[in-house]
Structure formats: C-alpha cells, structure tokens
C-alpha cells in the first residue's frame, strides 16, 4: 500500500457503533483479545535453561554443594518451555486466521456500518438546517457574539464536529473494505487514494455539478488541461498545475461552512454504500472519457450550419468521419 496515513482515533465511539453493526465482527474481536493475551502469556512463560545453571553457580560460590536435583530442574524448565512453545505454535496461526476473518467480515459487511453513518448524517443535517437558518450570515464566533447568537453558533459548531466525525469514520470503514491495512495489528489506516475517493464521491451526489476539479487528482491545486492523446484506446489528458485551486465547497476546513453547503436544498449529502461509492467514481470517469474523446475527435467544420431562409440545412458529416471513409476507399496516402 502506498502513502499510508494513520488516522487520529477521535472517531472511536461512532466507529465502535458502526463496527458493531457488522454481523459477526464483535465475536471475532472478543476472540482476538483472548487469543492475543493467551499468546502473550505463552511467549512470556518461556525460560532459558541457563537460569538453572546460574542458580547452581551462585550456590557453589557460596560454599553450598551442587544441587542434587539439578537435572530435574533443567527438565522442568525444558518441559515448561516445550509446553509454552506448543501453545504458542497453535495460538499464532489461530490469531492470524482470526485477523484474516475480521478483514473478510469488514469487507463483506461494510455496508451495514455505512448505514449507521448515513443515519447519523441524517440526524446531523436535520438538526443543522434550522440552526443554520437562524444564524443567517453569522460565520464565526465574533460575529455570533455581536449578533447575540452565541448559543446557536455553539450548537452549529458541535454539529459540524459530529459531521467531521462521520466523515472520518466513513474513510476508515471504506478503507477496511477496499484497501485493508498490510499490517494485521493496524486497524485505523487510510491511504490517500481512499481519502480522495470518499472526499470526491462519498460526500455529495453528483459532485462535479458543484466542483469542477472533482476526480482530477488536483488535491488542492488547480488543474489546467494542456492537450490530449490516445493511449491503449483511452483518451489521456496531459495537465499541469499552476495556481492554488478553490477547495471542494464541502471540504474547506471550516466545519460550519461545510455544513452550510451540505444543508443547501440543491445539494444531496450522503454516505453511500461501497457499490454506490465506486459506481459514482466509475460513472464520472466514463463521462470524462466520453467528453475527452468527443473533444479529441471534433474538428473545424463539425459545427451545424445555421438555418437558411430556404429551410433548415443538415449539418455536414464530422471531418473525422470523412477522413476515415476516405482512407477506407482510397487507402492511406503515400
């Protein structure tokens, strides 16, 4: 996995509720805790046989005779070690299988957890809309004090923090389903790809209607298109960045402002299922490919002719089509 980021565990309560909705996961977590502790105890019970030698050595130096049960002591240590090793040799693969099962359950039941987040989002937005309407143009604590709207402002800030928690938990759930961590003990890891996927397509429906650089990988910078080419049947657009881009209006870093945007009547905020999330991304990419291909094939003369007094005139065939037909009839020019 590339570009991994450890998420700060501020989403624990909501994350626990979301994970609890995944049928079968709670039992696995309980078993993992028990097996992990048993394995720790088994590995800690191993004693080096040299301990017996050290005790005998100190006794002899003190003038005592060599212990008569010296061999029995070594055998007891050896048998204890063999028992601990045997237990650890079973517990270690058991722990690994449980971790693999937890990953599979998370992948298969991620939508159940996302439904919990969708319900939380609905509660937050339902409570936020009348508050935001009451605040009007108040957009910071100082203006709230001046307008005597401190209490609504505080409530709006609390709701904004809950929304941030929803999105942080959403990233973790999606990461566990689409991009699970490569280290079994790490359960709160999100890659940049997953973060962008959720931010672009998992926050609002039809995001390109509200932000022009969704899905371009701009990541905070403006993308200026500088040409396109066909590569393995796909339109590849070369681009460069020059000036800082306007951030996504639902991810500005100002929680209350983001909530203002999501509460608009024309905006549909959502927590999609895994299928809806990846489907929204795929549909957007296919639409971009179709638009880029159409732009690549458009040539001067493709535009429809204006209406004439004698009646409407059909537009001429596209120049690209004429070129293709000419090559088929006459062959490529030498």
Overall pTM surpassing 0.85 (yes/no)? no
List, for residues 50-105, the tens digit of each pLDDT value. Answer: 888 888 888 888 888 888 888 888 888 899 999 999 999 999 999 999 999 999 99
> Tell me, what's the pLDDT at 153?
93
Say how far apart CA 86 and CA 34 lie, in whole Å. 17
3-state secondary structure of 244: strand
3-state secondary structure of 22: coil
Domain assignment of residue 326, yes or no: no
> Tell me, what's the pLDDT at 9?
39
**Band of the pLDDT at 310, cuts 50, 70, 90?**
low
Domain that holds residue 113: 4-294
> Tell me, what's the pLDDT at 91?
96
> Tell me, what's the pLDDT at 67?
82
- Burial code (b: 16+ CB inside 10 Å, e: under 16) for 293-319 equals eeebeeeeeeeeeeeeeeeeeeeeeee
List, for residues 218-264, the tens digit of each pLDDT value. Answer: 554 444 444 445 545 554 555 444 444 578 899 998 999 999 999 99
> Tell me, what's the pLDDT at 65?
86
Q: Is the pLDDT of residue 119 over 90?
A: yes
> Tell me, what's the pLDDT at 218?
52
How far is the CA of 147 from the CAs of 75, 134, 261, in angstroms?
A: 82, 11, 21
Domain assignment of residue 236, yes or no: yes
Please give the structure tokens belonging to residue 199: 């931010």
Question: What are the backbone dihedrals phi and psi of residue 241, each rounded to the nearest 5 degrees, phi first?
Answer: -115, 145
Q: Is the pLDDT of residue 280 over 80?
A: yes
Domain assignment of residue 310, yes or no: no
Domain assignment of residue 194, yes or no: yes
Say how far apart CA 126 and CA 119 lie, in whole Å. 11
> Tell me, what's the pLDDT at 291?
79
CB contact at 8 A, 259 and 161: no
Average of per-residue pLDDT across 263-288: 94
Mean pLDDT of the chain: 81
* 269 strand-pairing partners: 204
> Tell me, what's the pLDDT at 182?
60
CB contact at 8 A, 228 and 242: no
Output Rg (C-alpha) for the chain, integer angstroms: 32
**Band of the pLDDT at 151, cuts 50, 70, 90?**
very high
**Band of the pLDDT at 323, cuts 50, 70, 90?**
confident
Say how far apart CA 262 and CA 73 lie, in whole Å. 72
**Band of the pLDDT at 23, cuts 50, 70, 90?**
very high
Average of per-residue pLDDT across 35-59: 89
Work out how many domains the chain is built from and give that number: 1
Say how far apart CA 84 and CA 91 lie, in whole Å. 10
Domain assignment of residue 318, yes or no: no
Question: What are the backbone dihedrals phi and psi of residue 191, each rounded to the nearest 5 degrees, phi first?
Answer: -85, 165
Average of per-residue pLDDT across 309-327: 64
Alpha helices in the chain (DSSP H): 12-20, 25-44, 50-61, 70-135, 141-146, 150-178, 192-201, 255-262, 274-297, 319-330
Q: Is the pLDDT of residue 300 over 80?
A: no
Question: What are the backbone dihedrals phi and psi of residue 213, each rounded to the nearest 5 degrees, phi first?
Answer: -100, 20
Q: Give every CB contact of residue 245 below 8 A, 6+ residues apart in sequence.
A: 213, 218, 220, 221, 222, 223
> Tell me, what's the pLDDT at 155?
94
CB contact at 8 A, 283 and 289: no
**Band of the pLDDT at 8, cuts 50, 70, 90?**
very low
Q: Identify the CA nearest to 105 among candidates 24, 4, 7, 32.
A: 24
Indicate the DSSP class of residue 149: -
How far is the CA of 144 from the CAs of 149, 153, 159, 257, 263, in angstroms?
A: 5, 6, 16, 14, 19
Average of per-residue pLDDT across 304-326: 62
* 247 strand-pairing partners: none
> Tell me, what's the pLDDT at 183?
54
Domain assignment of residue 304, yes or no: no
How far is the CA of 91 from the CAs of 42, 147, 235, in angstroms?
A: 9, 63, 52
List, for residues 168-220, the tens digit of each pLDDT value. Answer: 999 999 999 998 766 554 455 688 899 999 999 999 999 988 887 776 655 54
Domain assignment of residue 313, yes or no: no
> Tell me, what's the pLDDT at 333?
58
CB contact at 8 A, 200 and 215: yes
**Band of the pLDDT at 146, cuts 50, 70, 90?**
confident
Domain assignment of residue 311, yes or no: no
């Amino acid at each position: 996995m590339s570009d991994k980021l450890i998420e700060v565990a501020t989403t624990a309560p909501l994350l626990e509720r979301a994970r609890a909705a995944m049928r079968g996961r709670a039992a696995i977590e309980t078993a993992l805790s028990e097996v992990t502790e048993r394995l720790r105890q088994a590995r800690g019970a191993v004693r080096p046989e040299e301990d017996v030698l050290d005790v005998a050595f100190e006794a002899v130096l003190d003038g005592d005779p060599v212990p008569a049960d010296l061999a029995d002591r070594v055998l007891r240590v050896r048998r204890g070690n063999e028992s601990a090793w045997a237990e650890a040799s079973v517990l270690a693969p058991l722990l690994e299988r449980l971790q693999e099962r937890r990953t599979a359950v998370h992948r298969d039941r991620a939508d159940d957890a996302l439904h919990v987040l969708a319900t939380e989002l609905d509660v937050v937005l339902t409570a936020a809309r009348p508050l935001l309407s009451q605040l009007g143009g108040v957009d910071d604590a100082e203006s709230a004090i001046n307008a005597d709207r401190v209490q609504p402002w505080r409530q709006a800030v609390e709701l904004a923090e809950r929304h941030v928690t929803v999105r942080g938990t959403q990233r973790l759930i999606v990461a566990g389903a689409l991009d699970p961590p490569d280290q079994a003990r790490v359960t709160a890891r999100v890659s940049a790809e997953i973060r962008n996927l959720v931010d672009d397509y998992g926050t609002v429906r039809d995001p390109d209607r509200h932000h022009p650089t969704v899905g371009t990988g701009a990541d905070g910078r403006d993308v200026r298109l500088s040409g396109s080419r066909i590569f393995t049947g796909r339109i590849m657009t070369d681009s460069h960045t020059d000036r800082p881009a306007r951030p996504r209006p639902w991810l500005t870093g100002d929680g209350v402002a983001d909530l203002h945007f999501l509460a608009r009547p024309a905006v549909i905020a959502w927590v999609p299922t895994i299928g809806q999330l990846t489907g929204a991304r795929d549909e957007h990419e296919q639409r971009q490919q179709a638009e880029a291909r159409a732009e690549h094939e458009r040539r001067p003369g493709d535009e429809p002719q204006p209406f004439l007094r004698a009646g409407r005139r059909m537009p001429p065939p596209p120049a690209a089509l004429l070129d293709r037909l000419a090559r088929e009839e006459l062959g490529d020019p030498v």
